[in-house]
Amino acid sequence: MPEQASEWAPYVDWLNDYITNISVFCILGITAVMLYFAIRYRRKGLDDKTPYITHSATLETAWTIVPTVICFFVFFYGFESYHEMRNPPANAMEVNVTGVKWRWDFEYANGKRSTNELVVPIGKAVKLIMRSQDTTHSFFVPAMRVKEDVLPTVYSYLWFTPTKLGEYHIFCAEYCGLQHSGMLGTLKVVSEGEFGDYLYDRQDPDAVELPPAELGKAKFAEKGCTACHSIDGSKGLGPSLKGVFGGEHTMSDGSVVKADENYLRESILYSQKKIVKGYEGVVMPAFEGQLSDAEVNGLIAYLKTL
Ligand code: CUA
């Protein structure tokens, strides 16, 4: 196994070792007993008859219950870790990740951008909000024990807490065309101080652009969103967007939707897909094709601040 560099790693490895050890124990044990029986109970002559044996309830109950208990243990241990892996904490540092044939682009909350190099501070939870610009990729950092598909249609997420300083490989783990094997990156885990220096290093003027939330705020005004959506909680032609992110909203069909990045993106680009209850008669223009990915990310980042 690669070195353990995240909080997940010991758990993932423990379960992996546990399953491997049980498998090895069973293979060796079953093979040994099989060989022993084949020799011990082989047919010794023409009149050697197999005795009539029906069954043993004790034995059969034991070999049903023991593996069932082991399987349930593996399931619950895996389920609990997986559940935690799928639910990033609210205070995690967010980084936007874009998979492009054949590179990884990263964007931090302050507008800092980088390609094929993700720098994170040690000991802090990092949440990656990932999307692809073309085909399906998969973001894989073996040392962190995390891997997740990166899709063109929806945002997918990863989160981890790095526990060890150093540089680690980032791979694309989904065949995505000619240069798939060259779609590599480096994850650098640095100290808090070093990370601050990196984030605000403006020596390279191209590396820093408008922070996403500021870009979003500008677009929000430019596209006329303010005409229908208030940001102070007052009711307009459309629902107020104050505190919209992370909240639970009732739709016109009675379903309840948690406003995450995917919901907000869908509501901006394909506004008629889900209508908030009480706003059935209002038609918001769909912005499909009118906003770049960076602008959509920016609008979402801005909505998070409200
Ligand atoms: Cu991207 Cu393989």
**Average pLDDT score, the chain:** 88
What's the CA-to-centroid distance between 102 and ligand 1, angstroms?
A: 6
Q: 238 pLDDT band (50/70/90 cuts)?
A: confident
Ligand 1 neighbours (beta carbon < 6 A): 99, 102, 137, 172, 174-176, 180, 183
CA distances from 295 to 127, 193, 230, 250, 265 (A): 20, 30, 20, 26, 11
Sequence-separated (6 or more) residues with CB below 8 Å from residue 303? 216, 241, 244, 245, 264
> What pLDDT shows up at residue 228?
82
pTM of the model: 0.73
Which tokens in the block code for residue 101? 């044939």
Q: Which atom of ligand 1 is nearest to the CA of 137?
A: 1
Give the model confidence (pLDDT) of 4-28 as tens digits. 999 999 999 999 999 999 999 999 9
Q: What is the DSSP letter of 191?
A: -
User: Taking residues 252-259, what's their average pLDDT?
Assistant: 87
Q: Which atom of ligand 1 is nearest to the CA of 136?
A: 1
Q: 294 CA distance to ligand 1 centroid (A)?
A: 21
Do 102 and 176 touch, CB atoms closer than 8 A? yes
- Which residue has its alpha carbon closest to ligand 1 atom 1? 137
| pLDDT tens per residue, range 163-210 | 999 999 999 999 999 899 999 999 999 999 899 888 877 655 555 567
Can you tell me the mean pLDDT for 150-154? Answer: 90
Q: Does the N-terminal peptide bond of residue 102 adopt cis geometry, omega within 30 degrees of 0? A: yes
> Measured from the CA of 175, which atom of ligand 1 is nearest?
2
The rounded Å distance from CA 124 to ligand 1 centre is 27
pLDDT greater than 70 at residue 143: yes
Ligand 1 center to 267 CA (angstroms)? 28
Nearest atom within ligand 1 for CA of residue 99: 1
Q: Which residues contact 271 (CB under 8 A, 6 or more apart)?
A: 283, 284, 285, 286, 287
Q: What is the pLDDT of residue 136?
A: 94
Distance between Cα 281 and ligand 1 center (Å): 43
- Band the pLDDT of 306: cuts 50, 70, 90: confident
| Average of per-residue pLDDT across 138-158 | 93
Ligand 1 atom with least separation from CA of 181: 2
pLDDT of residue 221: 82
User: What is the pLDDT, as a whole number, of residue 204?
Assistant: 57
pLDDT the model gives residue 293 = 80
CA 164 to ligand 1 center in whole angstroms:
26
Q: Tell me what pLDDT residue 233 has.
A: 82
